[in-house]
């Protein structure tokens, strides 16, 4: 049944949490019922803005407010503790991307949710972009045959003011990584959604032009997929003022389909809005070549009719609530989120070891964050 109204809590009160709060308040089957932060002052400030109770104890929030879904919005390395605490009190969990900054934390979150019998999802709202859905449907319909080549090209820019805006940015311990962990997970998730599971990765990361941060601003990878296909990833925060983010897939019958998920003016939560609509910038499926221009006009009109900052978050939260109604998995599961963590972990390990990395991967327990913290 779709008549239930679900109580939702936000755990972590940073910039992206405000987008989730607005999205929740726009949904008829959702109620923002409380917020949590480690500090009372931060929790109070956020709670006052949205007129909800503030807490500094996750378990107390979940129990007192009868929370059905907790949205985890803390910085990436700090997803584990609030996610586990909320799950153990019976709340379903939706974690901001990435699921975690390490496989160890990702596996602990997944395990805790399974033991608690609650559903787990990971934020990847670009899956709901209309041009992304068109590509996915074309693949599922067999219009390109088996997908045999997938590419990600994300060329963006982050300046010093971006890293200065929040103390946790740019550090291994508090951000967990750079472009791979913070900006690229959306595109990596879409690539994996299109191409399937990964068999092997050879990658390298570098800091090209951000000497004031520890983490990588650029990473490259060559990928072998289990379906026999291949792919490559180029992600970077080093191209001023930002160029685009694209995911393309090419099929064994020679047809191609792709999406530009982000234009040059790339979205930065709490600092910059989404200024350019996502579009199908590549479409060579026989008999459909001219549809891309028609779709582009439709997508531009749709983009101007919505608030793109919250609309697609609304769609993902809505899907999660429908999953609760229907007792099914959400579209983006915890296992999907783990695959993204596994992919960027393989790139970090490949750089450290200067070797191709075979998947599946498991936690190493080496205390070097898969080569991140020991690479400076």
pLDDT digits (tens), the chain, 376 positions: 466 899 999 999 999 999 999 999 999 999 999 999 999 999 999 999 999 999 999 999 999 999 999 999 999 999 999 999 999 999 999 999 999 999 999 999 999 999 999 999 999 999 999 999 999 999 999 999 999 999 999 999 999 999 999 889 999 999 999 999 999 999 999 999 999 999 999 999 999 999 999 999 999 999 999 999 999 999 999 999 899 999 999 999 999 999 999 987 654 555 456 779 999 999 999 999 999 999 999 999 999 999 999 999 999 999 999 999 999 999 999 999 999 999 999 999 999 999 999 999 999 977 888 888 754 4
Contact at 8 Å (CB) between 101 and 357? no
Residue written as token pair 């350019």: 276
Q: Rounded to an integer, what distance in angstroms lies between the CA atom of residue 211 and that of residue 214?
A: 8
What pLDDT, on the 0 to 100 scale, is given for residue 376?
40
Global pTM value: 0.95
What pLDDT, on the 0 to 100 scale, is given for residue 374?
54
> If we measure between CA atoms, which residue out of 39, 46, 48, 49 comes closest to residue 71?
46
* Domains of the chain in sequence order: 6-125+327-332 (3.40.50.720), 126-306 (3.30.360.10)
What pLDDT, on the 0 to 100 scale, is given for residue 58?
98
Q: At what angle do helices 185-195 and 334-353 cross, to 10 degrees?
A: 110
SS3 letters across 118-184: CCEEECCHHHHCHHHHHHHHHHHCCCCCCEEEEEEEEECECCHHHHHCCCCCCCHHHHCCCCCCCCC
Q: Could you tell me whether strands 279-283 and 147-155 are parallel, antiparallel, or unpaired per DSSP bridges?
A: unpaired
What pLDDT, on the 0 to 100 scale, is given for residue 375?
45
Token duo for residue 8: 């939702």
């Amino acid at each position: 049944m779709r008549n239930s109204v679900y109580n939702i809590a936000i755990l972590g009160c940073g910039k992206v949490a405000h987008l989730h709060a607005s999205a929740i308040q726009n949904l008829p089957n959702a109620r923002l019922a409380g917020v949590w932060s480690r500090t009372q002052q931060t929790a109070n400030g956020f709670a006052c803005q949205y007129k909800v109770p503030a807490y500094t104890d996750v378990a107390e929030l979940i129990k007192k407010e009868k929370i059905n879904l907790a949205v985890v919005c803390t910085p990436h390395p700090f997803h584990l503790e609030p996610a586990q605490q909320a799950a153990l009190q019976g709340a379903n969990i939706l974690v901001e991307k990435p699921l975690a900054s390490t496989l160890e934390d990702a596996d602990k979150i997944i395990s805790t949710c399974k033991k608690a019998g609650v559903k787990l999802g990971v934020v990847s709202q670009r899956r709901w972009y209309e041009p992304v859905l068109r590509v996915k449907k074309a693949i599922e319909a067999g219009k390109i045959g088996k997908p045999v080549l997938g590419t990600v090209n994300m060329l963006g820019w982050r300046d010093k003011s971006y890293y200065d805006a929040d103390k946790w940015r740019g550090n291994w311990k508090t951000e967990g990584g750079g472009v791979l962990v913070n900006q690229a997970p959306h595109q990596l998730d879409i690539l994996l959604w299109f191409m399937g599971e990964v068999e092997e990765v050879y990658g390298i990361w570098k800091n090209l032009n951000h000497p004031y941060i520890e983490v990588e601003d650029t990473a490259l990878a060559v990928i072998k997929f289990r379906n026999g296909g291949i792919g490559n990833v180029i992600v970077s925060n080093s191209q001023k003022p930002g160029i685009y983010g694209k995911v393309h897939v090419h099929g064994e019958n020679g047809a191609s389909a792709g999406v530009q998920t982000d234009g040059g003016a790339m979205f930065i939560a709490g600092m910059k809005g989404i200024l350019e609509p996502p579009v199908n910038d590549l479409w060579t499926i026989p008999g459909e070549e001219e549809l891309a221009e028609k779709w582009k006009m439709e997508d531009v009109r749709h983009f101007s009719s919505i608030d793109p900052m919250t609309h697609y978050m609304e769609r993902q939260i809505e899907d999660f609530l429908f999953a609760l109604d229907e007792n099914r998995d959400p579209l983006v599961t915890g296992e999907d989120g783990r695959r993204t963590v596994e992919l960027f972990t393989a790139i970090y390990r490949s750089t450290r070891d200067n070797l191709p990395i075979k998947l599946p991967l498991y936690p190493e327990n080496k205390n070097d964050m898969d080569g991140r913290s020991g690479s400076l």
